[in-house]
Amino acid sequence: MVHKDWTLILDFDSTIIKGESLDLLAETVFENRLEPNLKLQEIKKLTDEGMEGRISFQESLNRRLKILELDQFHLNKAVTSVTKLISPSFKENIDWLKRYRDNILIFSGGFKNMIKPVAMKLGLKEENIYANELIFKNGKFNGVNKKNLLSRSEGKLNQVKQLGLNKNLIVVGDGITDWEIKKLGGQVTFFAYTENVSRKNVLDKADFEANNFNEVVKYIKGI
């Protein structure tokens, strides 16, 4: 069922799921290492810096991937566990998500491989996932698809422009990369999503705070 009067753009990390998927990948890669802590801490620090806008998203992603010694095995292992991290209030609204799935997009700087199983579990459409694509060669990580808009700074903003979305956009996320879509103007309503993490500089820029997904559903019902 398509409702043409609004489009909902959801972030994935720390919004649909309770954590950051790249951090989860890092924990999987380093779980059996003797010296994992410093690398894990650095990756999580770079995640926060990127989400808070202290460094560009592109710099944050590139530096994290450089630290991460990823291979196909670790990715597959992380994919099997990510569905256990779905935020509670998203689980509560599965019926609503399925009903309005044609109007719901996922925009993420994370990886489509990890997002797809969660989206399927929530009844969302695979073709509505816009996220980074990992490249492997002989089972070893060989970079991301740099043609993908989500691999670059202001990727979410530019993805909206490419799709030609131009009215009644509701954007829900925890980071500056989500807020950047507000640069399109008054047709964008931005919810700082705080069920899992609260970032003051993002809250300060938001139109509304949503500490669970029920608040977003309530807002859309009132449109």
State phi, psi for 208 to the nearest 5 degrees. -145, 160
Does residue 193 contact residue 51 with C-beta atoms inside 8 Å? no
Tell me the mean pLDDT in the region 101-114. Answer: 95
Position 32 scores a pLDDT of: 67
pLDDT higher than threshold 90 for residue 34: no
pLDDT higher than threshold 80 for residue 73: yes
What is the DSSP track for 141-208?
A: EEEE-TTSGGGSTTHHHHHHHHHT--SSEEEEESSHHHHGGGGG-TTEEEEEE-SS---HHHHHH-SE
Least confident of 17-31, 92-106, 167-181: 17-31
- The burial of 168, by beta-carbon neighbours within 10 Å (0-12 exposed, 13-18 middle, 19 or more buried), is given as middle
Q: What is the pLDDT of residues 135-168, one digit of tens each?
A: 888 877 888 898 999 999 999 999 999 999 988 9
Position 185 scores a pLDDT of: 92
Rounded to 10°, the helix 112-121/21-30 angle is 110
> Would the pTM of this model clear 0.75, i.e. be above it?
yes
Position 67 scores a pLDDT of: 85
- Residue 31 CA, distance from chain mean position: 23
pLDDT higher than threshold 90 for residue 108: yes
What's the mean per-residue pLDDT of the chain? Answer: 91
Between 131 and 27, the higher pLDDT residue: 131
